[in-house]
Amino acid sequence: MFERPEPAVSARVWEVGALCRAIADALQLRFNPVAVRGEVTGWSRASSGHCYFSIKDASGQLRCAMFRRAADLLDFAPCDGQLVELRGRLGVYEARGDLQFIVESMQRAGQGALFERFLRLKARLDAEGLFDSARKRALPLQPRGIGLVTSPGAAALHDVITALRRRVPHIPVLLVPAQVQGATAPPSIIEALEKLYLLARARAVPGAHPDQTPAIDVIALVRGGGSIEDLWAFNDEQLARTIVQSPVPLISGIGHETDFTIADFCADLRAPTPTAAAELLAQPRDMWLGALDRLAGRIRDAVQRQLDARQQRLDQAAARLGRPSGRVTHQQMQLAQLAQRMRHGAQLNLQHRAQARQALQVQLPAAWQRHLARQADRLERAALRLELLDPRLVLQRGYVLLTSAGGQAVTQVRQARPGDALRATLADGTIDLTVARPGV
C-alpha cells in the first residue's frame, strides 16, 4: 500500500538582508562569545589599523576580522602559520553574506585556561535553562525607583548617576555598595542583590513599609571594563543563580561592549556599558513632556468640540423660542438642564485636567492656562445667553400668556367664547379671568 504524500508547505520568502540579520542573531544566541584555536593564514593589516585573516585547521577554515582597538592590544606580531587561540563572536558580513569571526582577543596557543573555565560554566548553566529568553522580563517604562549595585568608588557609578540625572532626575536611585573585583567580590555582590530583593518584595505589598525607602521596580548591576581576570567575579556560579532569582527585572552593564560575563547571560537584559544600562532604565523626560503636549492638544480639541456643540444647541433653542407658546414650561426645564449639564461638564473637565497635571508632575504651558481661562469665560457668557433666552423675561416686558381651563394656549380670539374661564400668566403670577365678550 502506498502512503499519500503530505501536502507541501510553502516556505517563507526572506529578503536577503533580513535573512542575513536573522542568521547573525541566531549565531549570537547560540554561540557567542566563543573561543577557537587554529592556524593563521592570509594575515594582513589595513591602513585603518584593522586586521583581516583566516584561521584554519585540517578540516575547516574561517574568515576573521580584528578591529584596530583589539589589534592594538596584541603583545606579539601574528604571522601566517602561527597557532593561536582567538576569543570573539561569530557574525555575518551582510554586504557579502559571509560568515566571519570578529576577534576580540588573540593569544598564542596554550594560553586562555581561564576563558575555557568560562566556556564550560556557560555551557552547563545554559543547559540548565538559566539563560532561557522565555523567562526574561521587559524593563518597566517608568520605574518608581531604581536599585543600583556597584562599587561606590568606581567610575561606573559616576557614569550611571550622571546619565540618570540627565534623563530622569525625578526617579529615586538606591545604591547598595558592593565589591566588584577580587575573590571577595562575588559574595559581596550577592549580599547587595539580596538586600534589594528584600526591599523589592516588601514594597510590593501596600503599606508594608511606610518609610521613605523608594519602591524598587528594576535593578542595575554595573561595573567598568577590564581584563577577564578583572571581571571574573561576574562569572561566579552562585552569583548567576542569585541573579535569576530577582523579583524585578535586572539589567547588567558590565565592562565594555565586547566584554561578556555569565552575569550578562543571566540578566533580563544586557547593556554594552554602564552608561548604556542607565539609558535603558528609563525613557528621557523630554519624551514624556512631548507626550504631555500631545495630551494637552487632545484636551484642547475635545473642549473646543464640546463648546461648539453646546453653542449649536443654544442657537437651535433660540430659534425655537421666538415668542411664548404652550411649551414655555417644557422649554424652561430643558434650558435649565442644559445649563446644569454645561456647568457640570466644564467643572469635570477642569478637575480632570488638574488631576492630570498633578499626576504627571509637570506644568502645562502658560499659554494653555490662558486658553483655559478664555474657555471658562466663554462658558460663562454662554450661560448668560441662556438666561437671556428665558421666556419669563418676555413676560416681564408686559406680555401675557393666556391658557384655557384645560391648560391649552389661547392665541386667537375665536378660541374664547363668552363665559369661558381663562388663566393669564404674568411675570409675577397668574390671574383667573372670565370672557365677557370676545373682541373682533
- Report domain extents, the chain: 16-111, 135-283, 286-390, 400-434
Percent above pLDDT 70 for the chain: 82
Higher pLDDT, 360 or 351: 351
251-275 as b/e, with b when 16 or more CB fall inside 10 Å? bbbbbeebbbbbbbbbbbbbbbbbb
Q: What is the pLDDT of residues 55-94, one digit of tens each?
A: 888 788 888 999 999 998 888 888 887 788 898 888 777 7
- Separation in Å, CA 148 to CA 171, 175, 221, 278: 13, 5, 6, 10
Question: What is the gyration radius of the CA atoms in the chain, in angstroms?
Answer: 39
3-state helix, strand, coil in the chain (%, to 5): 45, 20, 35
The CATH architecture of the domain made up of 16-111 is Beta Barrel (2.40)
Lowest mean pLDDT among 2-16, 95-109, 186-200, 419-433: 2-16
Q: What are phi and psi of 94, to 5 degrees?
A: -65, -30
- Distance in angstroms (rounded) separating the CA atoms of residues 57 and 107: 16
DSSP annotation string for 233-257 = GGG-HHHHHHHTT-SS-EEEEESST
DSSP annotation string for 136-157 = --PPPSS-S-EEEEE-TTSHHH
Percent above pLDDT 90 for the chain: 26
List the alpha helices (DSSP H) in 83-136: 113-128
- Distance in angstroms (rounded) separating the CA atoms of residues 180 and 261: 13
- Distance in angstroms (rounded) separating the CA atoms of residues 182 and 168: 33
Place of cell 378660541: 415
Cβ atoms within 10 Å of 335's Cβ, excluding its own: 18
List the alpha helices (DSSP H) in 217-327: 237-243, 262-266, 274-281, 285-320
* Angle ∠(37,38,39) on CA atoms, nearest 5: 150
The predicted model gives 393-415 an average pLDDT of 79
Return the amino acid letter for 197.
Y
C-alpha cell at 303: 473642549
* Angle ∠(368,370,374) on CA atoms, nearest 5: 115
User: Is there a contact between 248 and 133 (Cβ–Cβ < 8 Å)?
Assistant: no
C-alpha cell at 222: 554595573
- Distance in angstroms (rounded) separating the CA atoms of residues 13 and 309: 53
* 198, pLDDT greater than 50: yes
DSSP annotation string for 369-417 = HHHHHHHHHHHHHHHHHHHHT-THHHHHTT--EEEETTS-B--SGGG--
CA end-to-end distance (rounded Å), the chain: 112
Query: Which CATH code of 3.90.580.10, 3.40.50.2300, 3.30.160.60, 3.90.1150.10 fits the domain covering 135-283?
Result: 3.40.50.2300
* pLDDT for position 62: 87
* pLDDT for position 10: 64
Q: What is the pLDDT of residues 256-283, one digit of tens each?
A: 877 789 999 999 999 999 999 998 887 7
pTM of the shown model? 0.46
Lowest mean pLDDT among 140-149, 233-242, 287-296: 287-296
Q: What is the average pLDDT value for the chain, to the nearest integer?
A: 81
Give burial (CB, 10 Å; 0-12/13-18/19+) of 106.
Answer: buried
Most confident of 163-172, 291-300, 325-334: 163-172
* 180, pLDDT greater than 90: yes
